[in-house]
Amino acid sequence: MANRRLSVDPHCAVVAVERRHQIWRDQGSFGGGGNLHDGTQSDRDDRRGASAIAARRPLVPAGERHAVAQSIAAAKELSELARQYQEIEAQIRAARPRYASLTQPQPLSVAEIQRQVLDADTLLLEYALGPDHSYLWAVTPDSVSSYQLPPRAEIEAAARRVYELLTARQPRPGETDAQRQARIKEADAAYPVEAAALSRILLSPAASQLGAKRLLVVAPGMLEYLPFAVLPIPKVPNAKDREGGKTAFCGCIRSITCGRRRSWWC
């Protein structure tokens, strides 16, 4: 028992101590006015009650009080350091806003994305994958459209098949040249079918908006490894051919704000 170590959550320790002090104050508000020394019988009874309360105060074992005190002190120190850090961040943002935009990026609203990132020739496609449903948002400078997609598992399985076909030319350990050539031939034959299937999932919902626009794609999970530029564009009657259209992939929309006027488009 003497060697038992105490693990204390600093926040819980602070709350517990403050609550205990509040109870003592509530129980120590004797005689309505809180004066313990006016000499009345009621006050003398209250002082005896206060003495009894004081006798019960050491609820924390004596051997553990030092650990609790250290936890409380550590919690206060962490709180003060967090406050100082926030002050420094605010000073950096005020003194060097361009540097702060890189090191302390702030989320962009839809209006800011439309104003700062997009133009009339650019379409943002942002994907969110979920266990039951996934979603696609197609954003232009003056509109936002949303579409429901299949679950994450279905989308990532299709994307993985396309990725494996695209990388089939990479050599594999222990594989003969004949085996490699056979595998490449099989991948080349399967690719158009698998790529078209994935394109129907990812691009067909927004096909009418694609046209010849540049595409800015934000996608998570397995889609991060997928070069969207190699997917066939779904055919839409009377729509512009997208031949020559460019695609840029970005994991975070915020990261392109500073480089919007640079060579983002591949």
Per-residue pLDDT in tens (0 to 9) along the chain, 266 residues? 444 444 444 445 444 545 555 554 555 544 444 444 444 554 455 555 555 555 555 555 666 777 778 888 888 888 898 898 888 888 877 888 777 766 766 777 888 888 888 888 889 999 999 999 999 999 999 999 999 999 999 999 999 999 999 999 998 899 899 999 999 999 999 999 999 999 999 999 999 888 888 888 988 989 988 888 889 888 766 545 455 455 554 544 544 544 443 433 33
Q: How many helices (H) and strands (E) does the chain have?
A: 8, 5
Return d(Cα 34, Cα 246) in angstroms, integer: 78
Does residue 187 fall inside a structural domain?
yes
Indicate whether 95 and 131 sit together in one domain.
no
In this prediction, residue 205 carries a pLDDT of: 93
DSSP 94: H
Q: In this structure, is residue 265 part of a structural domain?
A: no
Q: Which residue is associated with the tokens 């954003």? A: 139
Whether residue 138 is found in the same domain as residue 25: no
| 3-state SS class at 134 | strand
Whether residue 243 contacts residue 87, with contact meaning beta carbons closer than 8 Å, is answered with no
Judge whether 178 lies within some domain. yes
Neighbour count for residue 187 (Cβ, 10 Å): 16
Name the domain count of the chain.
2
- Whether residues 129 and 78 share a domain: the answer is no
Any domain includes 44: yes
Gap between the Cα atoms of 162 and 192, Å rounded: 9
- Based on the domain organization, do 67 and 168 belong to the same domain? no
pTM above threshold 0.75: no
Are 56 and 126 within one domain?
A: no
C-alpha to C-alpha distance for 122 and 171, rounded to whole angstroms: 37
How are strands ordered across the β-sheet holding 122-128?
143-149, 134-140, 122-128, 214-218, 247-249
3-state SS assignment for residue 215: strand
* 188 contact partners, CB below 8 Å, separation of at least 6: 168
**Structural domain includes residue 188:** yes
Residue 181, domain member (yes or no)? yes
pLDDT of residue 59: 57
Which pLDDT does position 249 carry in this prediction? Answer: 47
In a domain, 36, yes or no: yes
Whether 225 and 157 share a structural domain: yes
1 alpha-carbon distance from chain centroid? 44
Give the model's pLDDT for residue 128.
94
Give 145-210 as a DSSP string: EEEEE--HHHHHHHHHHHHHHHTTTS--TT--HHHHHHHHHHHHHHHHHHHHHHHHHHTGGGHHHH
CA distance linking residue 202 with residue 196, whole number of Å: 10
CA 199, distance to chain mean position in Å, is 27
Q: Which domain holds residue 121?
A: 110-256
